[in-house]
Amino acid sequence: MAVEIERKFLVTGDSWRSLATGTLYRQGYIATEAGATVRIRLVGDRGYLTIKSKLGQISRTEYEYPIPASDAREMLDNLCERPLIEKTRYKIPLAELIWEIDEFAGENEGLILAEVELPAENYSLDLPAWIAREVSDDPRYFNANLVKYPFKKWSEF
């Protein structure tokens, strides 16, 4: 079984920007029910189908398969919930981990999140200076929920 152990944080400041160049991501969700998601993603000119389900506090099963980019575009255009997730992802290697900074666009513009995949749930993590509050347990920040409740519509911001 493929397992993803991931923590998620809000990002502060711009010091991270000089550490990586970004890649455009477009993704959409075909299904987001019963604790499982089926996602289509286009990363540059590469397509992916991903199926995830909750396993633990910060762990999920994750199965990801490459698909033709033309199929991904067609599914994003015709099968996925709206709005699509549009973001630029920056990958920053620090120590033995890869931090992924997502700068959202479209209906989620203004939101910048950092995610880091861990080798174990109890892994001791040193946080970079550009990390703010942890939001791993806040479902509002899950990409599948940003489709249903986009960041631009949150009243608290």
Q: 145: domain CATH number? A: 2.40.320.10
Question: Which entry of 25, 29, 90, 141 is annotated as an active-site residue?
Answer: 29
pLDDT tier for residue 57 given thresholds of 50, 70 and 90: confident
pLDDT tier for residue 25 given thresholds of 50, 70 and 90: very high
Q: Rounded to the nearest 5°, which phi and psi values hold at 145?
A: -80, -25
Domain span at 8: 3-153
pLDDT tier for residue 18 given thresholds of 50, 70 and 90: very high
The token pair that represents 149 in the structure block: 């409740």
Weakest mean pLDDT among 35-49, 52-66, 90-104: 52-66
| Average of per-residue pLDDT across 37-63 | 93
- How many structural domains is the chain composed of? 1
**What does pTM read for this prediction?**
0.93
Q: Rounded to the nearest 5°, which phi and psi values hold at 42?
A: -120, 115
- 118-130 per-position pLDDT tens digit: 999 899 999 999 9
Give the model's pLDDT for residue 156: 56
Q: Rounded to the nearest 5°, which phi and psi values hold at 59?
A: -115, 145
The token pair that represents 4 in the structure block: 């993803």
> In the annotation, is 149 catalytic?
no
